[in-house]
Amino acid sequence: MTRALLHFQDEMAPARRLAEAAGLPAHAIERHRFPDEELKLRLPFAETEAFPETLVLYRSLDRPNDKLIELLLPARHARQQGVTRLVLVAPYLAYMRQDIAFHPGEVVSQRIVGGFLAELFDAVITVDPHLHRIERLDQAIPIEHAIALSGAPRLAELIAGKRESPLLLGPDEEALQWVRQAAEVTGFDFATCRKSRSGDRKVRIELPDIEVAGRQVVLMDDVASSGHTLARAAEALIDAGAISVDVAITHALFAGDALAVIQAAGVVEIWSTDCIAHDSNAIAMAPVLGDALSVVFAS
């Protein structure tokens, strides 16, 4: 069975690391934006017979609105050319947090975007999707191969090489799953803070009942968006006597001035996976994503 991986130019580095790990040829999709903001895409296969039977499309869905169209166009075109299996590798998966209508009239984006992806692809592989009230990714993307991986074990390996016996701390209780996974890999102590939120950028952090004075602390989370949760946690830790605070995250969204907010709080190092391309990327997810692709290919 012939296989290939397609990617966009702005994600060439992580996509090609995955292609190498999975033993796939990698090709770039050419993209042109017209003055009216419409997109023109050009695939590297000129003839129908040149298309592989299985096509892997790599696209991380941070800043997702244009990118969802960038999935729709090549996926539909590939089907028309006879591609029998389409696999999406989206290391960051957007529109997962709105899983219920909190107020009358709200659109439940998780179901709609999940259904959209299920119509386009035979398999979807992602990392640390932001799921709140569901347990499995296939509840949001109703296909057999809806695979959710975690960046925590890879970040744990990185932390072990950077710090000696740090305290792994989640900035809120939702981060327990990530610090626990990292602790299982490293044997480091772990705990979580408690967070109360009064707005997108207004949070209050309560430290856990554990001694942090004189310790190196690594804050771990799935995503840094506004940066305020991590910043408030870092400030509280430094006030409590931590000798250093670092941040390790799966998804480096860093909306607006988020990076500056975190750094201003006294954080020493910020490490992220390459799920979203960013200067803070410190470890690649290609080995884990490649293993997941092997499972899909074998099915």
Q: Per-residue pLDDT for 199 more than 70?
A: no
Q: Per-residue pLDDT for 203 more than 80?
A: no
pLDDT digit string (tens) for 57-67? 999 999 999 99
The domain spans of the chain are 3-149+284-298, 152-274
pLDDT of res. 198: 60
pLDDT of res. 197: 67
Q: Per-residue pLDDT for 188 more than 60?
A: yes
End-to-end Cα distance, the chain: 13
Domain 152-274 has CATH 3.40.50.2020: yes
What does the alpha-carbon distance between residue 137 and residue 193 come to, in Å, rounded to a whole number?
A: 26
pTM of the predicted structure, to 2 decimals:
0.94
CATH for 3-149+284-298, options being 3.40.50.150, 3.30.70.1230, 3.40.30.10, 3.40.50.2020: 3.40.50.2020
Residue range 164-178: mean pLDDT, rounded: 93
- Burial label, 198 (beta-carbon count in 10 A; 0-12, 13-18, 19+): exposed
Q: In the numeric block, which tokens belong to residue 213?
A: 């004075």
In degrees, rounded to 5, the angle at the alpha carbon of residue 210 between the alpha carbons of residues 208 and 213 is 110
Residue range 258-268: mean pLDDT, rounded: 94
List Cβ<8 Å contacts ≥24 apart for 176-183: 177/150, 177/152, 178/128, 178/150, 178/151, 178/152, 178/220, 178/221, 178/222, 178/250, 179/152, 179/220, 181/150, 181/152, 181/153, 181/156, 182/152, 182/153, 182/155, 182/156, 182/220, 182/248, 183/156
Residue range 203-210: mean pLDDT, rounded: 88
Q: What is the mean pLDDT of the chain?
A: 94
| Residue 198, phi-psi category: left (phi > 0), alpha (psi -120 to 50), beta (remainder) | alpha
- The domains spanning 3-149+284-298 and 152-274 adopt the same CATH topology: yes
Residue range 132-153: mean pLDDT, rounded: 93
Q: Per-residue pLDDT for 201 more than 60?
A: no
Q: How many residues are recorded in the chain?
A: 299
pLDDT of res. 200: 53
Measured between alpha carbons, how far is residue 93 from residues 46, 126, 130, 238, 284 in Å? 30, 6, 8, 33, 17
Residue range 168-194: mean pLDDT, rounded: 94
